[in-house]
Amino acid sequence: MGFAIYYNGLCSHHHLRPEFQMVTTLASSECREPGALRRRALTKLDRELSKGHFKSALSLVKELQGKPDGLRGFGAARQVSFNGRLENLMIDAISDSVYEENHITCMQHEAGHFLTAYLLGVLPRGYEVPSIEDFRKDNFLGGKVGFLGFEFLEDIHTGKLPKRKVNNGKVSARNLNRFSCIALAGLASECLVFGCSESSSSDVLKLDRVFKWLGFTESEVDAQVRWAVLNTLLILHRHNEARSRLAEAMALRRSVGFCIDTIENTLNLSDI
């Protein structure tokens, strides 16, 4: 194991015996290694999430947000301006027929949720994905990604609270915009990869319940959904490589911290 003495974050090798010089030099080099700070922080993030310390986990992420050796992609996605009207806008879906198995489709779907949330500044707190064996045994229950900051979904699930208007209660316009994009991101990811989506409509139904709870009119729902679909497709299209690598990591059931590091290592920073 490496050994080093730290003063105000700086490594010091003073007063060490010669036999320790090589070890401390290696430790010092590790301190300067690109991404080392991020990886150590993400290891701590995994520990906090595993203990259910979600507030501490989110604080840790925000401390690293936007820093060169931190989390450059968290909440940094460039988005489409939304003024309630979208006219004559089209986007070509990218067809990729390489992946055909249901397991890969599921990974792309869940990776779409995870990546979109991360880039919009919503921290994934965990995820569940089926294995290939689950498909072979016809034991497929679907994958899911959990997030911090959407506690209002529990209120909707109980069905006991009255309808709320945006900015009047627990749901802000910003949070609704982010949730709309994240909810549709799985389907959007499938469309970009395969040219279409054959997944269940559970994500759409969940979003529809939110709109009904908020008392949205049909025209308001249409405008919100059209913007969210376009915004999400553009985000996922710009970061195609990150989504692909993230899907691979999720297929191996890597930790949330590992998945975030995968995103950071493959982000298209010039077009974030």
CATH assignment of the domain containing 260: 1.20.58.760
Segment 134-156 shows an average pLDDT of: 75
Structural domain includes residue 28: yes
Per-residue pLDDT at 80: 85
Contact status, residue 188 vs residue 94, Cβ threshold 8 Å: no
**Is 193 in contact with 108 (CB distance < 8 Å)?**
yes
Alpha carbon separation from 168 to 42, 148, 248 (Å, rounded):
35, 20, 40
- Domain check: are 236 and 144 in the same one? yes
Give the count of beta carbons closer than 10 Å to the beta carbon of residue 181.
28
- Residues 177-181 have a mean pLDDT of 93
Within-domain flag for 81: no
Which residue intervals of the chain are DSSP H helices? 18-32, 36-50, 54-64, 102-119, 132-136, 152-158, 173-194, 202-214, 218-238, 240-251, 256-266
pLDDT given for residue 171 in this prediction = 75
* pLDDT tens by residue, 185-200: 999 999 888 887 766 5
Residue 70 lies in a domain: no
Burial group, residue 28, by CB count within 10 angstroms (0-12, 13-18, 19+)? middle
Q: Give the residue numbers spanning the domain of 26.
A: 1-32
Q: Do 245 and 120 fall into the same domain? A: yes
In a domain, 68, yes or no: no
Please give the Cα distance from 193 to 248 (Å, whole number): 14
In a domain, 209, yes or no: yes
Query: CA 26 to CA 11: how far, in whole Å?
Result: 11
Q: Are 227 and 82 in contact (CB under 8 A)?
A: yes
